[in-house]
Each structure stands twice: as C-alpha cells, then as structure tokens.
Amino acid sequence: MASPDNPDNPDRPDEPEDPELPGGPPDETFALIGPGRAGTTVALALVDRGWRAVAVAGRAPDAASTTSAAACLATVPALVSDAGRGARLVLIATPDRAIEQAAEVVAASLEPGALVVHLAGSRGLDAFAALAGRRPDVRVGALHPLQSFPSTSAGLERLAGSWAAVAGDEEVTRIARLLGLRPFPLADRDRVRYHAAAVVASNHLVALLGQVERLAAACGVPFGAFEPLVRASLDNAFLLGPARALTGPVSRGDLGTVEGHLVALDPAERDAYRALAREAARLTGRRDTAIDRLLGDVLQAGGGRPGGEDEGGAEPLR
C-alpha cells in the first residue's frame, strides 16, 4: 500500500520537506493536555527532536498522571485554563468525548497563531468548531498515530515508521514527518469508518487471540505454540492480501470439519467462531449455501435455537 504523499515508494516513510525538521527548529514550545500514554509518548518524541514542553495539564495540577508527565517532560503541571500560555503547539490527548471541553477551557490562554492539535482517531476538525468560532486567530488540526501504546517506552520505539491520519493546518503533516510518522490525509466524513477499522485491527484482533488462548488451554496446548502461525498469517495477509492469504476449512469448502468444530466448541465460543467463519466465507468470493446454512443454524452444532438456552446464554459483544 503506497503512501498518499509518496505513492511511488510504499516501503519508505515520506521524506521531510523542511530541512530544519530532522533536528527540530530551536526552542519550539508545546503544551500537553491529557497526560495519558499516547499524549505523553508524542510529547516525549517532540522533546527528543528539540521541542520544549512549557506545561502539562490533566484532571488537576496535583494529579499523579499530571505531575509524573510534567517531571518526564521537565516542565510544570498547570491548569487546563492556563496551559496555552507560551506554547506554539497545544496537544490535546484527552478521551475523545472531552476534546471540545478541553479546547473551550484552554481557549483564553492560547497564543495568537498557536496550533491546537488533537490525537483522536474517531474525531476530526469538527471537534474544534466552537474553538474556531471563539479564537479565529489560532490554527487547528488532527493527528492520529495508527499505533498501539501499551507504555510510553514501547510507544517511543513504535512511533517512527507508523502511519498517521492527519487533517487541518499543513503544519500537522510536517510535525508528523518530524516524528518519523507516515502521514495520510483523512476527511472528517471518513473518520468513524477509519477508526472502526483501527479498532478491528487492534482491539478485535486481541480479543480473537483471547479466544485462541481459551481454546488452547481447554486442550492443554500452550498459547505461545500458536505465535508462529499467527505471525505467519499476518505476514501473508499483508504480503498477498487477505483473500489470497486465506487458508483452512472454509476456504476449502470443508463442511464436515467446520461442523465438527462447532459441535466440539463450548457454546459460549460458538458465536465468535461462526461470525469469523462467515467473514472467511465472504472473503473467498464464493457463495456456498451449505456453509451458509451451517453457520446460520446452531441446530447443526448440538441443539438449541439460535440465541436460546443451549447457547449458554452468552451476552452479545458490545
């Protein structure tokens, strides 16, 4: 998959256009609102590239997360209402639902011409509609690194080379490149679908591996035994494309094996198996009515009506 900004070379990050970016311009200043893992990771990466933090704001200046992030960034804790003072860039890394409120509270302290950027994947520039009306003299943008941050140390290792959705002021793209990210533009209208894809790629994949762990434990096999298979399957999917990488009984139309799986599985595990088997069937591009009937009718899997008591009374995934 080629980068939209560098379509001729899909394997390399976009090259910085500004010759000052690799080292960072002198004494560029920023503030961080929302000292969680993602925000602190991006903030530390900016510091590594020559930027200087002037404030960190969170739930309260004395909150543990705020004071810890401030210490890491060699700056001071602050109220959100004061965080914009002296900052050319303000990073808002709060939960998605709190972006508008954070922007509203910090608005009065923003420097003229400051750039305010949020790091949310599901929100676009719409999150700054009220801020733009109140402070038309500031610039806004969105930068979402398409990466998982289980810790700041792991995040710093993973940041460079990751892709990032960007929107808004053109400086957002330059900052993404400064951090070693591979930026691609994303319109507000596409944000929710994009974020859904990211959730499937990360959270749902982990949930699926949770099922692998449970099924492995039920037959006395170590979870780690599946790691080479999982990694090879991921490599194949990105090398060949998901459709060509698909193997297994559904791709072969092996009805007996699929039925055997459904009979053997604990009822609480069948819904996830059937749902993913249906997706595998769709990926083949063929219509197999026998598979469709099997995956849609739990009578074939050992009794009970769909969603009935014999299905274990499992709650639907939310």
Residue 5 lies in a domain: no
Same-domain status, 288 and 206: yes
Same-domain status, 32 and 153: yes
164: containing domain: 28-186
Which residue among 146, 165, 186 closes a domain? 186
Residue 219 lies in a domain: yes
Same-domain status, 169 and 253: no
Same-domain status, 139 and 198: no
Distance CA 117, CA 139 (A): 9
**Tokens for 13?**
């990050």
DSSP 203-230: IIHHHHHHHHHHHHHHTT--GGGGHHHH
Distance CA 188, CA 239 (A): 30
Same-domain status, 281 and 209: yes
Same-domain status, 181 and 50: yes
List, for residues 135-182, the tens digit of each pLDDT value.
Answer: 999 999 999 999 999 899 999 999 999 999 999 999 999 999 999 999
CATH of the domain at 227: 1.10.1040.20
Same-domain status, 182 and 197: no
Distance CA 178, CA 185 (A): 16
Residue 6 lies in a domain: no
Say which amino acid occupies 258. Answer: V
Nearest to 101 by CA among 135, 137, 127: 127
Check: CB of residue 125 under 8 Å from CB of residue 142.
yes
Same-domain status, 94 and 163: yes
> What's residue 285's pLDDT?
86
Distance CA 22, CA 302 (A): 62
Which residue among 186, 205, 240 closes a domain? 186
Check: CB of residue 93 under 8 Å from CB of residue 119.
yes
The total number of structural domains in the chain stands at 2
Same-domain status, 167 and 203: no
Check: CB of residue 138 under 8 Å from CB of residue 90.
no
Residue 11 lies in a domain: no
Same-domain status, 175 and 294: no
Q: In angstroms, how far is CA 189 from the centroid of its own chain?
A: 18
Which residue among 170, 186, 202 closes a domain? 186
Same-domain status, 230 and 101: no
> What's residue 295's pLDDT?
79
Residue 2 lies in a domain: no
> What's residue 175's pLDDT?
98
CATH of the domain at 128: 3.40.50.720
List, for residues 277-307, the tens digit of each pLDDT value.
Answer: 999 999 998 877 777 787 775 434 344 333 3
> What's residue 14's pLDDT?
47
Residue 221 lies in a domain: yes
Residue 282 lies in a domain: yes
Bridge partners of residue 165, in order along the sequence = 144, 184
Distance CA 154, CA 204 (A): 20
> What's residue 13's pLDDT?
44
Per-residue pLDDT tens, the chain, 318 aa: give them. 444 444 444 444 444 444 344 444 557 999 999 999 999 999 999 999 999 999 999 999 999 999 999 999 999 999 999 999 999 999 999 999 999 999 999 999 999 999 999 999 999 999 999 999 999 999 999 999 999 998 999 999 999 999 999 999 999 999 999 999 999 999 999 999 999 999 999 999 999 999 999 999 999 999 999 999 999 999 999 999 999 999 999 999 898 999 999 999 999 999 999 999 999 999 998 877 777 787 775 434 344 333 333 333 333 322
Residue 233 lies in a domain: yes
Same-domain status, 180 and 293: no
Instruction: Note the helical H segments in the chain.
Output: 37-48, 64-72, 99-106, 129-134, 152-159, 171-178, 191-199, 205-218, 227-240, 242-245, 249-252, 255-264, 267-284, 289-296
